[in-house]
């Protein structure tokens, strides 16, 4: 498995600083969500080549999958994001679904999401980029977000039926929403492209809460998963110290 940091791990520092830190720690990539905030995509690509690690995931510039009236806006923004990914060499795009629309049946919103993603799939296949849908918890962080459960996300993915539309499984969110983390994180492995990790409660670095990340990551590793696991978390101590602690206390015990 490969490990990524997320932008903001070093507060107030830019993408290049994060990439240099990732290289220093022997990690494998950066998740930079707002690609449109980079001043010069081509210059960033050159810096990635110089440092030897790069951005591995970003987000769609616009997200709303549940409102069919916004479909063309979503697709146009996805095309922009795919072009940015081409310049940067990014192979994963994360998308949220938007909030549930009051007064509209969930089934209709579900169908709208599937149809939009079916329209997006050929674009992603042509660019060889995976579009990852992300369930978010509505209890603590994202009240009203439409997609919250991993089983519903998998149902969407199966209906779209493209190898380039998959799931980012965020352990923190799914622990809050549904629990049953190891069973779902491994049982849906064929539909998962990428994991996010943080502890609960608090969304801080692994080892600060109730989640047993040695067992969770060991179970994921045993599936043969070779993709990215992103530290999408805050830090209770100095970031460099926290990363070294994560490596020594958790990664060194995965076998």
**CB-based contact 1:220 (threshold 8 Å):** yes
Q: Domains of the chain: which residue ranges?
A: 2-253
The DSSP H or E segment spanning 58 is strand 55-59
* Residue 243 clears pLDDT 90, i.e. is over it: yes
d(Cα 54, Cα 29) in Å, to the nearest integer? 5
φ and ψ of 195, to 5 deg: -120, 150
pTM of this prediction exceeds 0.95: yes
E strand spans, 136-213: 165-170, 192-197
Confidence of residue 3 (pLDDT cuts 50, 70, 90): very high
Both tokens of 182, joined, read: 């190891």
- Say if residue 190 is exposed, middle or buried (CB neighbours under 10 Å; 0-12, 13-18, 19+): exposed
Query: pLDDT tier at 255 (50, 70, 90 boundaries)?
Result: confident
Cα within 13 Å of Cα(166), Cβ side:
21
**What is the band of 254 on the pLDDT scale with cuts at 50, 70, 90?**
very high
The arithmetic mean of pLDDT across residues 30-59, rounded, is: 98
Query: What pLDDT, on a 0 to 100 scale, did the predictor assign at position 88?
Result: 98
Average of per-residue pLDDT across 231-239: 98
CB atoms within 10 A of CB 2: 14
Angle between helices 41-51 and 15-24 (to 10 degrees): 10
**What are the tens digits of pLDDT across the range 171-182?**
999 999 999 999
98-110: pLDDT as tens digits: 999 999 999 999 9
CATH of domain 2-253: 3.20.20.150
Tokens of 13: 């520092």
Determine contact, residues 236/8, Cβ cutoff 8 Å.
no
User: 234 forms bridges with which residues in the sheet?
Assistant: 204
């Amino acid at each position: 498995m490969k490990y990524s940091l997320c932008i903001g791990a070093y507060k107030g520092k830019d993408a290049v600083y994060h990439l240099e830190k990732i290289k220093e720690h022997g990690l494998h990539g950066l998740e930079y969500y707002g690609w449109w905030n980079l001043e010069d995509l081509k210059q960033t690509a050159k810096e990635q080549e110089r440092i030897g690690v790069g951005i591995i995931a970003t987000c769609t510039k616009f997200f709303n999958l549940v409102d069919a009236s916004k479909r063309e806006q979503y697709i146009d923004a996805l095309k922009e994001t795919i072009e940015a990914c081409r310049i940067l060499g990014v192979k994963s795009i994360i998308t949220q679904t938007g909030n549930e629309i009051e007064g509209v049946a969930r089934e209709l919103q579900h169908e709208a999401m599937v149809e939009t993603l079916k329209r997006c799939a050929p674009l992603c296949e042509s660019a060889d980029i995976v579009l990852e849908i992300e369930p978010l918890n509505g209890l603590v962080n994202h009240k009203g977000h439409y997609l919250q459960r991993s089983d519903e996300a998998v149902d969407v993915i199966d209906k779209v039926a493209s190898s380039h539309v998959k799931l980012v499984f965020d352990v923190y969110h799914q622990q809050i929403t549904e629990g049953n983390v190891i069973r779902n994180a491994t049982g849906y492995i064929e539909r998962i492209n990428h994991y996010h990790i943080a502890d609960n409660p608090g969304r801080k670095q692994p080892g600060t809460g109730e989640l047993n990340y040695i067992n969770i990551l060991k179970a994921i590793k045993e599936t043969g998963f070779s993709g990215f696991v992103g530290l999408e978390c805050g830090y209770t101590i100095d970031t460099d110290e926290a990363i070294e602690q994560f490596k020594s206390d958790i990664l060194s015990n995965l076998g």
